[in-house]
């Protein structure tokens, strides 16, 4: 867990990154594995300190013949200092699950904890399953695709540099640590300028290309934190696709732990 | 006009004799170029190719497949050595197979007893986990508990576990990309390898492979097997028959060259046209071969006869070409027309078979009048000792007998024909696709085992709309009622309905109290149960294959043991009627491969009901022109049409079940039967016109001159199709047997009914005017 990069001070790194191309210098001499991890750490570091956020989520699901179906949700998230983040998703559409809320404590190591509040039962149910790699609300996103992307959830390997849509990118392979993951590996394109994920290719357990996720319309909040407004996931095997749109991002809402616990779930609206 | 053709043929014949080497080289170049197209030929491994793009059952099926997942499924059936499958070893085998199957090509989902997402109450929570975890370490009590779940759970029993707990199955779902025709082959090869690996680890177990995926692959494999076993047999027989008849090594060799070139050329052209081979079209080389033999034989027979009369080889060849040019041209063009009529059929593989065979038939004609004479000119030909006089004498005797007994012959043959044709309606369309393959094919045996022990291959699925969402209790109650109605049918082995999931979740969320194993009564409650369940499902085991995106429809699958086509149609209609009567909001059309095959024969036959008359009309017009007589053109309808009807009548007596490829027999029979008519009638009319003899004498003369050749070509054709009767692919075998029956009927019609009809038709006019003027007036 000790890497020489840690010794480089933050200011120096920022200064270096101002000059395109020279930012690479900090990774000189690293093995592909170390360089991949270093890049992932840097991306994580750059987004530190966002505190809390809230946004609305809209998902449009499409099947092979183009039929569409819509899901509406609200998302609240809280940054946790020494562990994975906490998140709360409240479902508004479809109507028969309105008011249902999903609380997640993600963890850097081990399974995430999840609870679902079912308003019809007026009860909170823990999701007692170790494998949560199924589709999220029937979409092409698996829960693991949109959950908090903690650095520790993968092992990394830097592959190459590549230009994607005119942006200089790192291309990194990351392999899920969780054995129940639906993927054997993922290939990530991350731009060098701001360390934002631009594209992810997902490979299934037999190592066939399963899905591609692309990120669109990045906007910066609090002069620091970049959030994509639109995510497009395409399944190459079933030809189904899902568009996930985020809107009304707000930061510094003053959320705290009391809102992100099981007893608080029932009060959420 | 005839003289002009004659002059042209003579010039062409002399030209070929003079430039024999050039002719051979040009032929080789042309056929070589055609054959080069064979590199584009592939084998299609998708049973869907049997259905045209406009086929309504295919369209309905594809629509359902587009909403849910496609279901190209391999059923892996596992039989343990002992009485129960719920032991550590067998469950380990199933578990290992389930895990390793994720590595198979194009796999998107695997369902088995071991990875079944079993739900149970855990305190106040819902625990969702694999039914079997770490099978080697299970206690006897745990094994008993697993068995109890597997043989009682509606989603498992009768599909992935036999109801008696003796046999288990793994359902492997593939999603093909459709980029290569080898995808299915690749997936099946990998599945078999995995099976072999596991059999090596668990040698006491047996593993059977079935499902729609194996069926697709078997269509291709059965053809390959046919090619390997039937082709050598076919060519061997052919060479023997041709040699026995011609008694000349050179002539036999030349005939084989013509046949091989026609076949190879036509297959290559098929490649250029982008045709991919299927079980029916893979037999086109045999069809071409049988058809091509006749052209060469007719030319060579005349050649030898003329050489025996003292003509030189060259002279005799030119004269033989002159005599045979028109008949050989006519028979080829009419055969091609008959074959092309198959394009009216509904199944594209039948079009391909018809088109490839038609191209081969035209190519055989071209080569018989060019390459064949050139080869004969180059290589030494020893005229065989005069033989066949015995056969000709017998034929003459038959002719005389027919003429003498024309009244009894007419009435008896007319009666027999009528009686046979009256049997036609007794035929019943039946396409049981598992039984397309006989016991030599593993798929058939494995599928039979599966049907006898655990679940069937004949399904019917419905996408049932839920206007208030699938969680609507009223909808779920209707699903349940529909399910119960199906289970009243003893042929139903399994019904898959999402209502069973809701019942189970309701029980789980009430502390596993069996009292609560019933449908939830509130819609929101049901929807939220389902959401909770969905959040707990692992990769590849989601509900997308049973509930649509909107949750406004669910997939309802009924599995049967073997069903006949008629039973499938009746069952389908009664199911659809039940929905209309009892749950009109859920009205839907049942779809499945079984449903598609249940209608395929009817669709093909009814489309051929347009194609055959059209082809017959075209052929009749050609015959009227060629025979230069409207009357004799019309008379030709009798021998052209009767044998086909008689053959179907015979089939009704012999078997009575027709399948879709038999519509192809109609085209083949038409093409072949017309050849006999042309040879018989053209020789008869030539005798009447050129030798000015009475109809009776002309009939006897015709028997003597073409009788032996007709007999031999019919024998060759019958042998060719008899070889195909040995095909392991039942549609090919049955279609061939029917064609053999047609050829036999055609010979009987030509030797018995046609002569007396000719005598009758000729008599009326002959009393008023001479034959020549009659012909000239109708020809002008």
Structural domains in chain A plus CATH codes: 4-49+147-247 (2.50.20.10)
Q: How many helices (H) and strands (E) does chain A have?
A: 4, 13
Nearest by CB to A65, which of B66, B105, B129? B66
Residue B247 region by backbone torsions, left for phi larger than 0, else alpha for psi between -120 and 50, else beta: left
Q: Which two tokens stand for residue B475?
A: 């909808």
Q: Can the peptide bond before residue B581 be classed as cis, meaning omega within 30 degrees of 0?
A: no
pLDDT of residue A9: 53
CA distances to A107, A244, A247 from A217, in Å: 28, 12, 11
Q: Does residue B108 belong to the interface with chain A, where contact is any CB pair within 8 Å?
A: yes
Considering only CB atoms, which chain B residues are within 8 Å of A132? 535-536, 538
N-terminal to C-terminal alpha carbon distance within chain A: 42
C-alpha–C-alpha distance, residues B117 and B95, integer Å: 13
Task: Identify the band that residue A134 occupies on the pLDDT scale cut at 50, 70 and 90.
Answer: confident
Residue B774: pLDDT over 80: no
User: Are A65 and B124 within 8 A, CB to CB?
Assistant: no
Residue B421: pLDDT over 80: yes
- How many contacts does A have with B, using Cβ atoms within 8 A? 142
User: What's the DSSP call for residue B72?
Assistant: E
User: What's the DSSP call for residue B752?
Assistant: I
Residue A13: pLDDT over 60: no
pLDDT of residue B770: 43
Alpha carbon of B265: minimum distance to chain A alpha carbons (Å) = 39
User: Are A96 and B63 within 8 A, CB to CB?
Assistant: no
| Among A residues 32-61, those touching chain B with beta carbons less than 8 Å apart | 61
pLDDT of residue B690: 79
Alpha carbon of A241: minimum distance to chain B alpha carbons (Å) = 11
pLDDT of residue B768: 43
User: Are A97 and B469 within 8 A, CB to CB?
Assistant: no
Residue A233: pLDDT over 90: yes
Looking at domain B1-40+248-381, its CATH class is: mainly alpha
Residue B764: pLDDT over 60: no
Residue B556: pLDDT over 90: yes
Q: Does residue B498 belong to the interface with chain A, where contact is any CB pair within 8 Å?
A: no
User: Are A125 and B125 within 8 A, CB to CB?
Assistant: yes
Looking at domain B391-422+617-780, its CATH class is: mainly alpha
Interface test with A, best of B103, B531, B554 (most A CBs within 10 A): B531
Q: Does residue A1 belong to the interface with chain B, where contact is any CB pair within 8 Å?
A: no
User: Are B535 and A182 within 8 A, CB to CB?
Assistant: no
Q: Which two tokens stand for residue B351?
A: 């079009």
Q: For residue B542, what are the contacts with CB-CB under 8 A and spacing of at least 6?
A: A134, A135, A138, B534
Considering only CB atoms, which chain A residues are within 8 Å of B539? 131, 133-134, 142, 180-182, 205
Q: For residue B778, what are the contacts with CB-CB under 8 A and spacing of at least 6?
A: B628, B629, B630, B631
Query: Do B185 and B220 contact (CB within 8 A), yes or no?
Result: yes
Q: Does residue A122 belong to the interface with chain B, where contact is any CB pair within 8 Å?
A: no
% of chain A exceeding 70 in pLDDT? 87
Average pLDDT over residues B298-305: 85
Q: Does residue B549 belong to the interface with chain A, where contact is any CB pair within 8 Å?
A: yes
pLDDT of residue B388: 56
Residue B642: pLDDT over 70: yes
Instruction: Name the pairing type of β-strands B428-429 and B657-658.
Output: parallel
Mean pLDDT score across all residues of chain B:
86
Q: Does residue B67 belong to the interface with chain A, where contact is any CB pair within 8 Å?
A: yes
Considering only CB atoms, which chain A residues are within 8 Å of B511? none
Which tens digit of pLDDT belongs to each residue from B268-284?
Answer: 999 999 888 888 888 88
Which tens digit of pLDDT belongs to each residue from A191-231?
Answer: 999 999 999 999 988 888 999 999 999 999 988 899 999 99
Task: Identify the band that residue B386 occupies on the pLDDT scale cut at 50, 70 and 90.
Answer: low
Per DSSP, the three-state class of B581 is: helix
Residue B654: exposure state from Cβ atoms within 10 A (0-12, 13-18, ≥19): exposed
Residue A17: pLDDT over 70: no
Q: How many CB atoms lie within 10 A of CB B384?
A: 15
| Among A residues 82-111, those touching chain B with beta carbons less than 8 Å apart | 91, 94, 96-97, 100, 102
Nearest by CB to B539, which of A137, A182, A238? A182
C-alpha–C-alpha distance, residues A231 and A199, integer Å: 9
Alpha carbon of B359: minimum distance to chain A alpha carbons (Å) = 39
Residue limits of CATH 1.20.1640.10 in chain B: 1-40+248-381, 391-422+617-780
Interface test with B, best of A100, A125, A184, A202 (most B CBs within 10 A): A125
Interface test with B, best of A59, A71, A115, A131 (most B CBs within 10 A): A131
CA distances to B364, B647, B721 from B736, in Å: 21, 11, 5
User: Are B550 and A129 within 8 A, CB to CB?
Assistant: no
Q: Does residue B66 belong to the interface with chain A, where contact is any CB pair within 8 Å?
A: yes
C-alpha–C-alpha distance, residues B393 and B398, integer Å: 9
Residue B326: pLDDT over 60: yes
Task: Identify the band that residue A131 occupies on the pLDDT scale cut at 50, 70 and 90.
Answer: low
For residue B617, the surrounding DSSP H or E stretch is helix B593-627
Task: Identify the band that residue A162 occupies on the pLDDT scale cut at 50, 70 and 90.
Answer: very high
pLDDT of residue A214: 95
User: Are A118 and B528 within 8 A, CB to CB?
Assistant: yes
Mean pLDDT score across all residues of chain A:
84
User: What's the DSSP call for residue A4?
Assistant: G
Query: Which has the higher per-residue pLDDT, B583 or B690?
Result: B583
| Among A residues 167-226, those touching chain B with beta carbons less than 8 Å apart | 180-182, 204-206, 208
User: What's the DSSP call for residue B547?
Assistant: B
Q: For residue B628, what are the contacts with CB-CB under 8 A and spacing of at least 6?
A: B775, B776, B778, B779
Q: What are phi and psi of A209, to 5 degrees?
A: -65, 115
Query: Do B387 and B248 contact (CB within 8 A), yes or no?
Result: no
Q: List, as one string, the DSSP characters of A76-111.
A: EEE--SSS--EEEEEEEESGGGTT-EEEEE--SSSP
Stretch among B212-216, B380-384, B462-466 having the lowest mean pLDDT: B380-384
pLDDT of residue A19: 47
Which tens digit of pLDDT belongs to each residue from A100-113?
Answer: 998 988 888 878 88
Query: Do A61 and A140 contact (CB within 8 A), yes or no?
Result: yes
Which tens digit of pLDDT belongs to each residue from B689-734?
Answer: 878 888 888 888 888 888 887 888 888 888 888 888 888 888 888 9
User: Are A64 and B66 within 8 A, CB to CB?
Assistant: yes
C-alpha–C-alpha distance, residues A110 and B740, integer Å: 72
Which tens digit of pLDDT belongs to each residue from B98-112?
Answer: 999 998 999 989 999
The structure tokens 């300190």 sit at A49
% of chain B exceeding 70 in pLDDT? 97
Alpha carbon of B197: minimum distance to chain A alpha carbons (Å) = 18
Could you tell me which chain A residue has the CA closest to the CA of B540?
Answer: A134
Nearest by CB to A120, which of B107, B108, B522? B522
Stretch among A19-23, B4-8, B327-331, B648-652 having the lowest mean pLDDT: A19-23
Stretch among A253-267, B74-88, B320-334 having the lowest mean pLDDT: A253-267
C-alpha–C-alpha distance, residues B255 and B248, integer Å: 11
Alpha carbon of A235: minimum distance to chain B alpha carbons (Å) = 11
Average pLDDT over residues B589-594: 90
Q: For residue B476, what are the contacts with CB-CB under 8 A and spacing of at least 6?
A: B470, B498, B499, B502, B519, B520, B526
Which tens digit of pLDDT belongs to each residue from B488-518?
Answer: 999 999 999 999 999 999 998 888 888 999 9
């Amino acid at each position: 867990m000790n890497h020489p990069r840690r010794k480089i001070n933050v200011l120096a790194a920022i200064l270096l990154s101002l000059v395109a191309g020279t930012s690479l210098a900090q990774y000189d001499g690293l093995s592909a594995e170390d360089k991949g991890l270093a890049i992932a750490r840097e991306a994580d570091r750059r987004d530190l300190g966002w505190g809390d956020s809230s946004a609305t989520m809209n998902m449009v699901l499409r099947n092979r013949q183009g039929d569409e179906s819509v899901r509406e949700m609200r998302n609240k998230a809280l940054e946790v200092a020494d562990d994975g983040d906490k998140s709360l998703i409240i479902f508004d559409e479809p109507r028969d699950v309105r008011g249902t809320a999903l609380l997640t404590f993600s963890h850097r190591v081990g399974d995430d904890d999840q609870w679902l509040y079912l308003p019809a039962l007026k009860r909170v149910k823990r999701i007692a399953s170790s494998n949560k790699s199924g589709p999220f609300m029937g979409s092409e996103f698996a829960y693991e695709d949109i959950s908090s992307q903690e650095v520790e959830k993968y092992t990394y390997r830097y592959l190459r540099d590549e230009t994607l849509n005119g942006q200089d990118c790192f291309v990194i392979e990351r392999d899920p640590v969780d054995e129940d993951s639906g993927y054997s590996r993922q290939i990530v394109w991350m731009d060098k300028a701001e360390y934002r994920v631009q594209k992810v290719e997902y490979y299934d357990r037999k190592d066939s290309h399963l899905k591609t996720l692309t990120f669109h319309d990045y906007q910066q909040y609090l002069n620091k934190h970049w959030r994509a407004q639109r995510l497009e996931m395409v399944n190459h095997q079933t030809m189904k696709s899902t568009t996930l749109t985020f809107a009304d991002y707000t930061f510094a809402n003053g959320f705290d732990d009391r809102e992100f616990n099981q007893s608080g779930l029932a009060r959420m609206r | 006009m005839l003289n002009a053709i004659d002059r042209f043929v003579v010039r062409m014949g002399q030209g070929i004799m003079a430039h024999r080497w050039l002719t051979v080289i040009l032929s080789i170049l042309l056929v070589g170029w055609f054959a080069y197209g064979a590199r584009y030929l592939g084998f299609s491994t998708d049973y869907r190719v049997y259905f045209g793009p406009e086929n309504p059952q295919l369209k309905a099926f594809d629509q359902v497949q587009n909403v849910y997942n496609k279901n190209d499924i391999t059923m892996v059936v596992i039989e343990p050595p002992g009485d129960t499958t719920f032991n550590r070893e067998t469950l380990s085998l199933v578990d290992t197979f389930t895990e390793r199957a994720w590595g198979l090509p194009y796999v998107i989902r695997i369902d088995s007893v071991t990875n079944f997402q079993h739900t149970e109450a855990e305190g106040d929570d819902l625990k969702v986990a694999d039914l079997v975890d770490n099978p080697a370490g299970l206690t006897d009590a745990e094994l008993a508990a697993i068995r109890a779940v597997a043989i009682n759970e509606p989603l498992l029993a009768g599909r992935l576990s036999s109801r008696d707990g003796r046999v288990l199955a793994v359902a492997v779902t593939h999603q093909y990309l459709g980029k290569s025709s080898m995808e299915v082959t690749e997936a099946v090869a990998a599945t078999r390898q995995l099976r072999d690996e596991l059999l090596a680890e668990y040698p006491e177990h047996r593993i059977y492979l079935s499902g729609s995926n194996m069926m697709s692959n078997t269509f291709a494999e059965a053809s390959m097997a046919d090619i390997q076993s039937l082709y050598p047999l076919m060519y061997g027989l052919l060479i023997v028959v041709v040699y026995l008849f011609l008694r000349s090594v050179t002539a036999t060799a030349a005939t084989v060259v013509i046949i091989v070139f026609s076949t190879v050329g036509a297959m290559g052209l098929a490649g250029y046209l982008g045709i991919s081979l299927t079980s029916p079209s893979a037999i086109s080389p045999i069809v071409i071969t049988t058809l091509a033999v006749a052209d060469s034989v007719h030319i060579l027979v005349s050649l030898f006869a003329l050489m025996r009369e003292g003509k030189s080889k060259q002279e005799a060849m030119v004269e033989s070409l002159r005599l045979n040019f028109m008949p050989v041209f006519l028979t080829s063009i009419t055969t091609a027309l008959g074959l092309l009529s198959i394009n009216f059929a509904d199944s594209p593989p039948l079009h391909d078979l018809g088109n490839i065979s038609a191209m081969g038939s035209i190519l055989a004609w071209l080569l018989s009048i060019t390459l064949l004479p050139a080869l004969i000119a180059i290589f030494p030909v020893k005229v065989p000792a005069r033989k066949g006089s015995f056969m000709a004498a017998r034929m003459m005797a038959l002719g005389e007998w027919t003429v003498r007994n024309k009244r009894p012959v007419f009435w008896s043959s007319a009666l027999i024909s009528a009686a046979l044709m009256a049997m036609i309606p007794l035929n019943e369309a039946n396409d049981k696709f598992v039984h397309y393959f006989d016991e030599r094919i593993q798929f058939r045996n494995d599928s039979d085992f599966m049907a006898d022990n655990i679940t069937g291959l004949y399904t019917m699925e419905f996408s049932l709309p839920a206007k208030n969402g699938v969680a609507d209790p009223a909808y779920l109650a209707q699903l349940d009622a529909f399910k119960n109605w199906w289970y009243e049918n003893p042929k139903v082995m399994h019904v898959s309905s999402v209502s069973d999931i809701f019942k189970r979740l309701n029980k789980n969320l009430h502390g596993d109290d069996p009292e609560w194993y019933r449908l939830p009564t509130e819609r929101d409650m049901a929807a939220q149960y389902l959401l909770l369940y969905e959040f707990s499902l692992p990769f590849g085991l989601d509900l997308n294959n049973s509930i649509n995106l909107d949750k406004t429809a669910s997939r309802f699958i009924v599995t049967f043991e073997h069903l006949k086509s008629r039973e499938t149609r009746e069952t389908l209609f009664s199911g659809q009627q039940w929905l209309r009567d009892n749950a009109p909001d859920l009205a839907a059309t049942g779809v499945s491969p079984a449903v598609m095959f249940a209608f395929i024969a009817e669709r093909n036959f009814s489309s051929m009901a347009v194609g055959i008359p059209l082809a017959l009309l075209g052929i009749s017009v050609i015959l009227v022109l060629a025979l230069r007589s409207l009357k004799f053109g019309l008379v030709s309808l009798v021998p052209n049409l009767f044998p086909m009807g008689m053959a179907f009548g015979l089939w009704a007596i012999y078997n009575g079940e027709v399948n879709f490829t038999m519509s192809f027999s109609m085209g083949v029979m038409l093409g072949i039967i017309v050849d006999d008519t042309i040879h018989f009638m053209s020789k008869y009319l030539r005798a009447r016109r050129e030798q000015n003899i009475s109809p009776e004498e002309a009939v006897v003369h015709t028997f003597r001159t073409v009788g032996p050749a007709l007999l031999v070509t019919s024998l060759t054709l019958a042998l060719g199709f008899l070889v195909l009767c040995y095909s392991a692919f039942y549609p090919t075998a049955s279609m061939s047997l029917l064609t053999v029956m047609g050829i036999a009927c055609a010979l009987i019609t030509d030797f018995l009914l046609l002569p007396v009809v000719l005598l009758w038709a000729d008599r009326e006019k002959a009393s008023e005017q001479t034959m020549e003027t009659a012909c000239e007036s109708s020809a002008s």
